Amino acid sequence: MNNTDFQENTQHNTYFLPLVSLVFSAAVLLVGGRALANKAVLRSIFSCQAQGLGGTTPKITVWYQQGTNLSFLPAGEIIKKVWLDDPSQVTLDFDGPVCLQFGQQSSNTGPSSAANTGGDCENSAANVIHLRRIQKLYIPGLPNTDSTLLTVVTEGQGKKKLYTFQVNYGDGTPDYNTLAVFADPASSGSDAPCVRGIQQ
């Protein structure tokens, strides 16, 4: 009789164990997939791509839930001046003083902004722009648009560079939180990074 009970339990377990294994595997994949998705916080772009030399305007997305950083640290460049065409849905902050222009008004941010409002862009020392999406503000004269243009002038290794980014407005969960601009690699003939296009 004990032998029969053992055989019946073994038959029930043959169906039960694969089911438990399947549920456990699905849970591990689900949790692991979310962990991997949360680790995708950095997107990168070469300097020539960010300048649009590859034929496309680079895009950066801002979300309500968290800000998006635009970092020139990997390229070793200092931000000298920034223009934001439509400041009604995006705020900007920097990791140091920088010269800004919103429409026709220019201003300096950072510790010396109160004493220096004449648009002195020579003392800019920021490497990172932090963009944050906000609820749309009404600003007379600005049309409703699905995106705006961010223009950035940087300086590094004795050279000035001009970057333009299409700023898109995202909803939902952010895909990334930093777009890092890297120095161009040494070109190897036809395999220049600007020819390959932007990978996003």
Q: What is the tens place of the pLDDT at every residue in 144-196?
A: 899 999 999 999 988 999 999 999 999 989 999 999 999 998 766 555 567 64
Looking from the CA of 139 toward its CB, the CA atoms found within 13 Å total 15
- Written as six digits, the tokens of 146 are 């699905």
Architecture of domain 42-184: Sandwich (2.60)
The full set of domain ranges for the chain reads 1-39, 42-184
Helix (H, G, I), strand (E, B) or coil at 54: coil
- Written as six digits, the tokens of 20 are 């438990």
131 pLDDT above the threshold of 70:
yes
Q: Tell me which residue of 131, 172, 173, 160 sits closest to 148, measured CA to CA.
A: 131
Q: What is the pLDDT of residue 31?
A: 47
- Rounded CA-CA distance 56/63 in Å is 22
Residues facing 62 on adjacent strands: 169
Per-residue confidence band for 2, with pLDDT thresholds at 50, 70 and 90: low
How many Å separate Cα 148 from the centre of its chain? 15
Q: Tell me which residue of 152, 156, 153, 151 sits closest to 184, measured CA to CA.
A: 156
Neighbours of 103 (CB within 10 A): 13
Q: What is the pLDDT of residue 110?
A: 47
Rg value, the chain, Cα: 25
